[in-house]
Amino acid sequence: MDYEKLSRVMRELALAAGDKIMEVYARDDFDVRSKSDESPVTEADEAADALISAGLRAAFPDVLLITEEQAATHSQTGDSFLIVDPLDGTKEFVHRRGDFTVNIAYVQEGVPVRGVVYAPAKERMFYTRPDGKAVEELGPFARATAGATRQIAVAQSDPAALRVVASKSHRDQATDAYISRYAVADSKSAGSSLKFCLVATGEADFYPRLGRTMEWDTAAGHAVLRGAGGQVLRFEDHAPLTYGKAGYENPFFIATAPSVALKTP
């Protein structure tokens, strides 16, 4: 893989998709439908998916492409592929809470090695450079030329005063019970893959997810966190979360700074 080209293309497509999404977001009303799994989908999801898919297929025609909005057609799996959630956090989008993202990632041998997470309503963008290190670009964002960036890194956590981030739309009693086992000084909620990025920047120490997610929900955020020195581990045994699983469904997991002493289930 040409990582120079990949980083540039992923960033440009994320910004272009963000523009499409924000055009719909700015309207007084837009259509919301339910998919077969009862999750919502909007025209913004579909427009962003079409734009990103076309761009990735043109730039990398020989690389397997997996996207959420075309999931029903994905009969093929592999160790290396591009994976996209064109609008992660559709519930946040529909309720106009702003915590939604464009996620694009590249998985190699089961590991998300490169990725971009763009939150257009929050005006925050995180991505991996060609060398794999994670940065946050400081806006305003020009599509053709990357602006100033700052390298990001996970925090050195204080076990007596941990900071946790959890899902805004999917937090439940099991998650709260697990969090209560730690000495937590600060707890915040966030939507979409922004939770990975808050751990990656050191704004939070860990993010437990005891609920259903798909690989396109997590791959880009996982890549950014990995590039910032963090890790994503399976909840049940703390083994690394891998990609290319049958059906692209994840087990429960914990995204964390390595300095957090994780509790066993």
Rounded distance between C-alpha atoms, residue 22 and residue 231, angstroms: 31
Long-range contacts of 96-102 (CB under 8 A, 24+ apart): 96/25, 97/168, 97/191, 98/122, 99/168, 99/190, 99/191, 99/192, 99/194, 100/21, 100/191, 100/192, 101/192, 101/193, 101/194, 101/220, 102/14, 102/17, 102/18, 102/21, 102/48, 102/52
**E strands within 121-220?**
124-128, 134-137, 149-151, 162-167, 184-190, 206-209, 213-214
> One digit per residue, pLDDT tens: the chain, 265 residues?
999 999 999 999 999 999 999 999 998 888 777 765 657 788 999 999 999 999 999 999 999 999 988 876 666 677 799 999 999 998 899 889 999 999 999 999 999 999 999 999 999 999 999 999 999 999 889 988 999 999 999 999 999 999 999 987 667 899 999 999 999 999 999 989 999 999 999 999 999 999 999 999 999 999 999 999 999 999 999 999 999 998 899 999 999 999 999 998 8
In angstroms, the CA 100 to CA 169 distance is 12
89: left (phi over 0), alpha (psi -120 to 50) or beta: left
Q: What is the pTM of this model?
A: 0.95
| Residue 265: strand, helix, or coil | coil
- The β-bridge partners of 124 are 119
Rounded (10°) CA dihedral 193, 197, 199, 204: -90
| Predicted local distance difference test score (pLDDT) of residue 40 | 76
124-128 and 134-137 beta bridge pairing = antiparallel
Rounded Cα distance, 137 and 62, in Å: 29
Which phi and psi (to 5°) does residue 252 adopt? -60, 150
Rg value, the chain, Cα: 17
Q: Domains, the chain, ranges and CATH? A: 3-151 (3.30.540.10), 162-256 (3.40.190.80)
What pLDDT is attached to residue 101?
97
Rounding to the nearest 10 degrees, give the CA dihedral for residues 138, 154, 52, 137.
10
Cα-flanking dihedrals φ and ψ of residue 44, to 5°? -65, -40
Q: What span, in angstroms and rounded, lies between the C-alpha atoms of 143 and 140?
A: 10
